[in-house]
Amino acid sequence: MGAMALVRYVAAAAEAAGTTAEQVPAATVGELRAQVLARHGGELAQLIGRCSFVVDGVRSDDGTVLGPSDVVDVLPGG
């Protein structure tokens, strides 16, 4: 695993995850996506394919490397 990114869930993603924010250990957005699914599954698994992952204000793909102070917003409808 890599850095501990702060993940903030927005709107329906927060409802599906059951939280608005959490720390997730991951080196890339792809690892973060897998960790989030392992933690929350269910409704979030159905929604996550339609979510954007925005790292420090920049829409990012699964290969984006995460740093220790990165903030990742999970936005539905992406």
Amino acid code (one letter) for 28: T
Q: Which of 43, 48, 22 is nearest to 33 (CA)?
A: 48
- What tens digit of pLDDT does each residue of 12-40 get? 999 999 999 999 999 999 999 999 999 99
Q: What pTM does this model have?
A: 0.93
- What tens digit of pLDDT does each residue of 42-76 get? 999 999 999 999 999 999 999 999 998 899 999 99
Task: Identify the structural domains of the chain with CATH numbers, from first to last.
Answer: 6-76 (3.10.20.30)
How do the residues of the chain divide into helix, strand and coil, expressed in percent and rounded to 5? 35, 35, 30
Task: Give dist(CA 7, CA 10) in Å, integer.
Answer: 10
In contact, 58 and 19? CB cutoff 8 Å:
no
Q: What sign has the CA pseudo-torsion 56, 62, 63, 69?
A: positive
